[in-house]
């Protein structure tokens, strides 16, 4: 049985053991010590130098003996499809080269039409120059790179193991690591227009499009079990719309990528859309940044979007659902759909893809959706207006998608009363949308401290034409608590180390939306890491280790002490990448030499994997 939305006021009573704000003064109690009153006895002993570090090696994932199937292969699926897809291939777009002068101008989906999309994209400073132009064969990871680093002095102490079916792995997204944007038939996307010409673009990034075999081998060598990656819509369907040809080169590329993951002993997790909407959906001269929310006019509200996305989802599932057990339809849609029509389209498109996966394909894996929401905690938990502001923040961030999908409930009243053009779902729509996610995906990087807008929430929310930068959430977000302390240790970006808030958040999500939780991204860009002159200083990233180990410890407590079903956790990111115009916010657990594309394991990678491996039960 599903229950209604649980307010933070109710949760505050249920989670008193996790209260963040101290109500008493004095020192924190120390652990019980059995020898606290023993008198020390001083004495001399012979001295000799000793090796403090024990050399250990990361353990690779064992090669698979069998491959589990989760749906019928494409050759069988295609017999049951009402529509099938023609395939084609295109060349690569390079300014002033032959692909622009293609002669098949009468073909609406030919080389000339494909090239014209890139001309319309009007890229500045575009270059295809990278180190590689074909897939690179992997080489074994030297054992010298797999020696574990020295431990930090303090670390988590617990007595828990992760459940046998716990999903642990790492994540990345195509737009941020692949490069090769206009090669092998890929069409232009929103992300080629997103950042200003003065900032680094996604043209080359990590060249993972050519280096994926080596990247996968490096993950397997560290013992990673799940690899979460994304597939670019514009690479699979350059012209995006139903009825347009599928890019056969792209189908073959991701077919091989999935097989490479499986052959390495890992399990693939695939996200269909990670910010990289095909540019044709977007008024590219009208992409606007909304303060603290995301990007508007990013294509989700386009009238053709739902049918086009569903068609794209069917292409992916028909080809790959037999080997991929976990699927995500949308990544963090709030950032690119924060207007009512965009959010409404996301909810309806997601539900259709879910039904195709389970009802048509009869697939036995899992498919869901994942959200972004830095947990909003009231600045003053004793102030009812602050608690209501936090409740509203959660409704606007999560309820707009999660209410209909997980609870079969109407869009939150705060959404219907605030967003221009908002209208409720019909009973038949709610019935179709309800229970269309097998897990609740969340990217809970950090927390945010919430209080009402100065003029009050209602005054802000009722003025839909308001220029108030807090509209439509109409709450203030801060990084300091009511006593002026930062909420945690600060990173290079908006992320603070907030593990106790994270545990409270898991409690809130589980008891509100009643679905297994997949922590689908979480990570920490160490402050000024990119400025380190010595590579060894970048690699010894103890603050990131603290972040990961504290969050993983709180997951264990959440599972065993709070009864929360946390399905798994995927670390972001498996390598330093392109953070949408920025290379200084380094979220990776591997460093990248931007000249040579060489990867280097960071300490946090070893610490994170070591923490999980030490707490895994025998799976036999």
Contact between 458 and 475 (Cβ < 8 Å) = no
Contact between 183 and 249 (Cβ < 8 Å) = no
Q: What are phi and psi of 217, to 5 degrees?
A: -65, -35
Choice among 207, 225, 332, 395 that is catalytic? 332
Tokens of 158: 């617990």
Who's near 363: CB < 8 A, 6+ residues apart?
Answer: 70, 71, 317, 321, 357
CA–centroid distance for 514 within its chain = 21
Vertex 257: Cα angle to 141 and 145 (nearest 5): 10
CA–centroid distance for 500 within its chain = 21
Contact between 165 and 252 (Cβ < 8 Å) = no
Count Cβ neighbours within 10 Å for each residue of 493-507 and write b for 16 or more, e otherwise: bebbbbbbbbbbbbb
Query: Is 303 tagged catalytic?
Result: no
β-strands 517-519, 440-443 pairing: parallel
Q: In whole angstroms, give the CA distance from residue 308 to residue 85.
A: 13
Cα–Cα nearest to 325, from 514, 568, 85: 568
Contact between 300 and 333 (Cβ < 8 Å) = yes
Q: Which residue has the tokens 């905690």?
A: 377
Tokens of 75: 């050759």
β-strands 366-372, 326-331 pairing: parallel
CA-based radius of gyration for the chain: 25
Q: Which long-range contacts (CB under 8 A, 24 or more apart) does 196-204 make?
A: 196/581, 197/124, 197/125, 199/581, 199/582, 200/578, 200/581, 200/582, 200/583, 201/123, 201/125, 201/126, 201/581, 202/175, 202/176, 202/578, 203/126, 203/127, 203/128, 203/179, 204/127, 204/129, 204/130, 204/179
- Catalytic machinery residues: 332
């Amino acid at each position: 049985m599903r229950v209604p939305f649980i307010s933070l006021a109710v949760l505050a009573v249920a989670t008193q053991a996790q209260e963040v704000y101290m109500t008493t003064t004095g020192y924190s109690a120390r652990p019980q010590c059995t020898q606290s009153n023993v008198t020390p006895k001083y004495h001399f002993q012979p001295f000799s130098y000793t090796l403090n570090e024990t050399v250990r090696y990361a353990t690779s994932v064992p090669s698979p003996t069998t491959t589990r199937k989760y749906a019928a292969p494409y050759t069988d699926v295609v017999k049951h499809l009402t529509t099938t897809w023609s395939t084609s291939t295109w060349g690569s777009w390079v300014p002033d080269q032959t692909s622009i002068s293609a002669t098949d101008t009468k073909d609406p989906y030919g080389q000339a039409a494909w090239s014209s999309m890139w001309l319309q994209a009007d890229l500045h400073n575009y270059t295809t120059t990278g180190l590689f132009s074909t897939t690179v064969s992997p080489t074994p990871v030297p054992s010298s790179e797999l020696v574990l680093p020295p431990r930090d002095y303090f670390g988590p102490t617990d007595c828990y193991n992760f459940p046998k079916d716990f999903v642990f792995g790492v994540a990345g997204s195509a737009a941020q690591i692949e490069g090769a944007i206009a090669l092998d038939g890929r069409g232009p996307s929103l992300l080629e227009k997103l950042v200003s010409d003065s900032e680094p673009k996604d043209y080359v990034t990590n060249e993972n499009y050519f280096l994926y075999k080596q990247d996968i081998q490096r993950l397997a060598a560290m013992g990673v079990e799940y690899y979460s990656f994304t597939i670019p819509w514009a690479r699979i369907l350059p012209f995006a719309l139903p009825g347009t040809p599928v890019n056969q080169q792209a189908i073959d590329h991701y077919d091989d990528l999935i097989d490479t993951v499986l052959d390495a002993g890992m399990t693939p997790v695939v996200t269909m859309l990670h910010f990289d909407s095909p540019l044709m959906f977007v008024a590219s001269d009208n992409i606007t940044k909304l303060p603290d929310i995301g990007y508007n006019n990013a294509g989700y509200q386009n009238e053709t979007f739902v049918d086009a996305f569903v068609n794209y989802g069917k292409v992916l599932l028909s080809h790959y659902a037999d080997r991929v057990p976990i699927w995500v339809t949308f990544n963090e849609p709030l950032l690119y759909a924060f207007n009512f029509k965009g959010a409404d389209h996301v909810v309806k498109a997601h539900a259709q893809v879910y039904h195709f996966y389970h009802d048509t394909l009869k697939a036995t894996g899992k498919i869901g959706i994942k959200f972004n929401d830095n947990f909003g905690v009231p600045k003053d938990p004793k102030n009812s207006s602050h608690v209501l502001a936090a409740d509203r923040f959660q409704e606007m961030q999560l309820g707009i998608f999660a209410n209909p999908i997980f609870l079969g409930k109407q869009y939150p009243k705060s959404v219907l009363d605030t967003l221009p053009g908002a209208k409720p779902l019909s009973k038949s729509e709610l019935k179709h949308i309800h229970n269309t996610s097998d897990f609740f995906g969340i990217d809970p990087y950090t927390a945010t401290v919430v209080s009402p807008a100065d003029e009050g929430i209602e005054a802000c929310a009722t003025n839909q034409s308001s220029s108030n930068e807090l509209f439509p959430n109409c709450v203030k977000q801060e990084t300091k608590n009511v006593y002026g302390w930062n909420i945690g240790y600060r990173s290079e970006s908006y992320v603070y180390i907030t593990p106790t808030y994270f545990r409270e958040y898991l409690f809130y999500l589980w008891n509100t939306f009643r679905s297994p939780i997949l922590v689908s991204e979480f990570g920490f860009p160490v402050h000024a890491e990119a400025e380190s002159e010595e590579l060894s200083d970048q690699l010894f990233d103890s603050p990131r280790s603290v972040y990961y180990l504290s969050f993983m410890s709180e997951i264990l407590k959440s599972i065993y002490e709070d009864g929360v079903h946390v399905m798994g956790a995927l670390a972001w990111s498996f390598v330093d990448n392109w953070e949408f115009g920025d290379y200084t916010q380094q979220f990776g657990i591997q460093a990248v030499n931007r000249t040579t594309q060489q990867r280097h394991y960071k300490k946090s990678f070893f610490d994170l994997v070591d923490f999980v491996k030490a707490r895994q039960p025998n799976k036999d």
